[in-house]
Chains A and B, each alone.
Chain A
Amino acid sequence: MTEYKNEGRHKAPLELWIRTTFLTIGSIMVTMLGLMFVTFVIGRVMPIDPVLAIVGEQASKSTYDAAYAQLGLDRPIIAQFGLYVWDVLHGDFGKSLLTARPVADDIKRVFPATLELASIGVFFGIILGVPLGVVAAVKRGSWIDQVARVIALVGYSMPIFWLGLMGLLVFYGILGWVGGPGRVGIFYVDIVPSVTGMILIDSLLDRNWVIFKDALSHIVLPASLLGYYSLAYISRMTRSFMLEQLSAEYITTARVKGMSESAVIWRHAFKNIRVQLITVIALSYANLLEGSVLTEIIFSWPGIGSYITTALLSADMNAVMGGTVVVGLIFILLNILSDLLYKFFDPRAK
């Protein structure tokens, strides 16, 4: 009897886990299919002509027609979509018109550049934004709170291209403290073997300290810029969450009981905003992982944002679809990660 009860207690979570996993995978597939369908339809109805992008506006009608048929545009749209999904399921996103390479290879090249930049950017945003938000809430109305507000407002309202150009002008052009545009100095291009596609990690793996230092000097400015925008968002949200907690009765009770202020703030109030903060950070990270097009343009950073934008403007629909699928997948994965972290930090979510 005892054995049966134990077996039952172990079996139930396993079944639940299997069920949850299947449901998660199913929802990912349905979401991805929906995303692909919407992107595909938009790609077909938008007023950019992929054929014209290939043959040029001076081409004759016969050349145009040949390219039209070659792209499969003469088939019904649903048949085109079906073929596309079939290819994607086999790992084939098609070939990019712009780069003459498989889209999967292009994404392998551009996504690590964005991942590297976004990760450092969001790291800056967290380590500066969270404490700033907490302090601003605790010292509500003080000069620290005012400074934090100004920092956040500037971050929200300043056009990123302007800030980027000014940063380049001051720190690269005038002071010479940081490297210029690009991921690495022109003379160091293609020297370190690409393992992860992230130059900082690849140069570390190669123990090439000169290139590591150079890559660091190139990434610090755009990453700080993106980090600043994350900081603005994260610090304001942290402040807001903290204010809500600090006005709760359990905080008053803790203080009345004589608990130290730092314990009240960090062990009680902050502990209770972690779940909300995870959502904010995940969203912020996801936004950076989409690629910040203007930052990538100003810093000549070959990331996924400028890749998708250039492809979109040139009617390179395979590249647009491939990029969209990857970005969509990132959002979904970050959502799942958030859910898992909820469960870890908040027992009620289990």
Chain B
Amino acid sequence: MNAFNRLLSTVAIGLAVGLTSVAAVAETPANMLVIANRIDDITTIDPAQSFEFAGSDVSRNIYSRLVNFDPLNLEAGYQPDLAESWTVSEDGRTITFTMREGVKFHSGNPVRAEDAEFSLRRVVILNKTPSFILTQFGFTADNVGETIVADGNTISITTDKRYATSFVLNCLTAVIGGIVDKEVVMANEVDGDLGNSWLATNSAGAGPYKLQGWKPNESVTLVSNPNYYGGAPAMERVIVRHVQESATQRLMLERGDIDVARNLNPEDVAGASKAEDITIDSELRGRLMYIAVNQKHEHLAKPEVRQAIKYLVDYEGMQNSFLNGQYTIHQNFLPRTYLGAVDENPFSLNIKKAKELLASAGVGPFEIEVGVREAQERIEIAQSLQNTFAQAGITLNITVGTAKAILGRYRARELDMYVGAWGPDYPDPHTNAGTFAYNPDNSDEAKATGLLAYRNAWDTGGLTEKVAAAVIEGDRDTRAKMYADIQSEFRDIAPFAVLFQKIEQTGRNKVVKNLNLGGAITAVSYWPVTK
């Protein structure tokens, strides 16, 4: 639905609701949680393959991991889950986990170290899109027999070199760390696929919920696992229904047919918040909006020009207008709530200072091309930038295109400037540090197109080594400090201006308590929810 249609529908509903009121005449059962969400991005439930938002929501509630986040205390970082404890070898390469005793899968099979070994090896062997989260530690299909090994009640993983323990453990909290029931999965193996096809639509976990059914673009139904080692969840059934339209979600929430609406637009948030039984939760998510300038451009490569562009952004104007309630100003590459995240936002719109910086660089008026994908909010950001940059003599020629066209040129280092969004892949600071501030080979031949620094032809000015040092630092607090320092330097020298961090606004019936969406680091947790 385009912006005009959305406006019409909002006006229509606003007028009608203003004249009457939608009375909550229904309510969902006390032991059932009903959610409206857009779930058309789920392509598989297999933890070795799932890499989408709605899929992560499902997976987090079905599969326990060796270590996991406590939804009621995300700030505490990773905690024991199926692994009761762990030790790290002297060389820092081997972590040995001791499994929790007495835990059972949904099938009734006991959870063994052998299942954990199978699950992690399976991720590496299947080599699906998210497998890099494990293979970055040097695991390959050829060496998993020696590097991921179960022995009795313990499982050891040995990385190719020393890494920060917190880095490895954070990665194991990702979806790919889900432990599957080896017996059940292998009973459903087809043509040596390690159960990949079967697990796409079925579940075999030990988590608080099991999958009852997933109908694409329609619904996901979870039923509670009464034998969950952490205690049976209060919500015996969780139904997530695919409801595309924000206005429809709002109507269902106000009618009491659903407990939670996950995709309300700002207009519907404003409307729903007036209802007596509804409250709006705002939670920070990991997605960042940023701009970057190509260091192959003779003007943009100058340090003063890189600085100047950060003063040519109307952060507050955008935050308070078309991004209102959906994004908040954030000028660092680690999202708030990540280990090492900082909350310093020193830049604001300052045309005069930008002009001084451009003058000191000896740069007169010039034109650059800015590439934008055809997404409404990004186009609006580009238009705002076009206005403010013009005031300092920089003409932005906006090229709007499909993901294929624009991203292809960005990867090929052809764009002068790019307005983009970035979401972290796993809940460790290296996920963003390793792409924004890491680029070991800046030559065209390197083709390291997965790295944002490479895409902008930036050699990182010494930050690559600092990122490499941070990723092997054993002490968690020291490591956090290292990332804070890296970000401080990054803000000054990088050809990136990180602009905003995503806020997710959720409409919730007030009877629903303890619903945690996972913040920036993980997905939603249904098991602590009560009514």
Say whether A associates with B: yes
Residues of A within 8 A of B (CB): 47-49, 52, 54-61, 63, 66-67, 96-101, 106, 109, 159, 161-162, 165-166, 168-170, 172-174, 176, 180-182, 186-187, 189-190, 294, 297-300, 302, 306-307, 310
Smallest Cβ distance from B212 to chain A, in angstroms? Answer: 8
Partner of A298, one of B129, B242, B248, B449: B248
A98 touches B216 (CB 8 A): yes
Partner of B450, one of A58, A170, A174, A306: A58
Smallest Cβ distance from A304 to chain B, in angstroms? Answer: 11
Q: How far is the CA of A96 from the CA of B197 in the complex (A)?
A: 12
Q: How far is the CA of A172 from the CA of B241 in the complex (A)?
A: 18
Partner of A162, one of B9, B212, B218: B9
In the complex, which residue of chain B has the Cβ closest to the Cβ of A166? Answer: B12
B449 touches A109 (CB 8 A): no
B51 contacts which chain A residues (CB < 8 A)? 56
B257 touches A186 (CB 8 A): yes
Q: How far is the CA of A207 from the CA of B32 in the complex (A)?
A: 26
Some 26 contacts from A to B, beta carbons below 8 A apart, are A54-B129, A58-B450, A59-B129, A61-B449, A63-B129, A98-B40, A99-B216, A161-B5, A165-B13, A165-B245, A165-B248, A168-B251, A169-B13, A170-B16, A174-B20, A176-B25, A180-B255, A180-B257, A181-B241, A182-B241, A186-B258, A187-B29, A190-B213, A294-B1, A298-B245, A300-B243
- Does B473 count as interface, using CB distance less than 8 angstroms? no
- Which residues from 96 to 141 on chain B have a C-beta closer than 8 Å to any C-beta of chain A? 127, 129, 132
**Which of B344-352, B402-410, B517-525 lies at the binding interface?**
B402-410
- Does B8 count as interface, using CB distance less than 8 angstroms? yes
A60 touches B450 (CB 8 A): yes
Partner of B129, one of A56, A173, A190: A56
Partner of A100, one of B43, B129, B257: B43
In the complex, which residue of chain A has the Cβ closest to the Cβ of B401? Answer: A47
Q: How far is the CA of A326 from the CA of B221 in the complex (A)?
A: 29
A48 contacts which chain B residues (CB < 8 A)? 402-404
B258 contacts which chain A residues (CB < 8 A)? 186
Smallest Cβ distance from B272 to chain A, in angstroms? Answer: 12
Partner of A300, one of B197, B242, B403, B404: B242
Besides A61-B449, A174-B20, A187-B32, 15 new A-B residue pairs in contact (Cβ under 8 A), listed by A number:
A58-B435, A63-B132, A98-B43, A100-B201, A161-B8, A162-B9, A169-B22, A169-B251, A172-B251, A173-B22, A174-B16, A186-B239, A297-B1, A300-B218, A300-B241
Q: How far is the CA of A190 from the CA of B218 in the complex (A)?
A: 12
The 5 closest A-B pairs by CB, nearest first: A99-B216, A49-B404, A100-B200, A60-B450, A47-B402
B245 contacts which chain A residues (CB < 8 A)? 165, 297-298, 300
- Does B219 count as interface, using CB distance less than 8 angstroms? yes
A52 contacts which chain B residues (CB < 8 A)? 403-404, 407
A189 touches B44 (CB 8 A): no
B13 contacts which chain A residues (CB < 8 A)? 165, 169
- Does B143 count as interface, using CB distance less than 8 angstroms? no
Smallest Cβ distance from B158 to chain A, in angstroms? Answer: 24
Smallest Cβ distance from B13 to chain A, in angstroms? Answer: 6
In the complex, which residue of chain B has the Cβ closest to the Cβ of A109? Answer: B215
B241 touches A186 (CB 8 A): yes
Smallest Cβ distance from A19 to chain B, in angstroms? Answer: 44
Main SS at interface, chain B? mixed
B129 touches A106 (CB 8 A): no
- Which residues from 207 to 226 on chain B have a C-beta closer than 8 Å to any C-beta of chain A? 212-213, 215-219, 221
Smallest Cβ distance from B171 to chain A, in angstroms? Answer: 15
B217 touches A310 (CB 8 A): yes
- Does B387 count as interface, using CB distance less than 8 angstroms? no
Q: How far is the CA of A60 from the CA of B16 in the complex (A)?
A: 50
Smallest Cβ distance from A165 to chain B, in angstroms? Answer: 5
**Chain B window 234-250, contacts with chain A (Cβ cutoff 8 Å), 1 for yes, 0 for no:** 00000101111101100
Smallest Cβ distance from A160 to chain B, in angstroms? Answer: 10
Q: How far is the CA of A160 from the CA of B450 in the complex (A)?
A: 43
- Does B254 count as interface, using CB distance less than 8 angstroms? yes
A55 touches B129 (CB 8 A): yes
A106 contacts which chain B residues (CB < 8 A)? 216
In the complex, which residue of chain A has the Cβ closest to the Cβ of B448? Answer: A60
- Does B161 count as interface, using CB distance less than 8 angstroms? no
Smallest Cβ distance from B242 to chain A, in angstroms? Answer: 6
- Does B296 count as interface, using CB distance less than 8 angstroms? no
In the complex, which residue of chain B has the Cβ closest to the Cβ of A169? Answer: B16
In the complex, which residue of chain B has the Cβ closest to the Cβ of A100? Answer: B200
Smallest Cβ distance from A45 to chain B, in angstroms? Answer: 11
Partner of B449, one of A60, A186, A189, A307: A60
Taking A52-B404, A302-B217 as contacts, is the C-beta distance between A161 and B1 under 8 angstroms? yes
A165 touches B129 (CB 8 A): no
Smallest Cβ distance from A171 to chain B, in angstroms? Answer: 11
Smallest Cβ distance from B184 to chain A, in angstroms? Answer: 18
In the complex, which residue of chain B has the Cβ closest to the Cβ of A316? Answer: B43
Smallest Cβ distance from A265 to chain B, in angstroms? Answer: 40
Smallest Cβ distance from B526 to chain A, in angstroms? Answer: 16
In the complex, which residue of chain B has the Cβ closest to the Cβ of A294? Answer: B1
Smallest Cβ distance from B137 to chain A, in angstroms? Answer: 16
B8 contacts which chain A residues (CB < 8 A)? 159, 161-162
Q: How far is the CA of A180 from the CA of B404 in the complex (A)?
A: 38
A97 contacts which chain B residues (CB < 8 A)? 43
Smallest Cβ distance from A309 to chain B, in angstroms? Answer: 10
B244 touches A300 (CB 8 A): yes
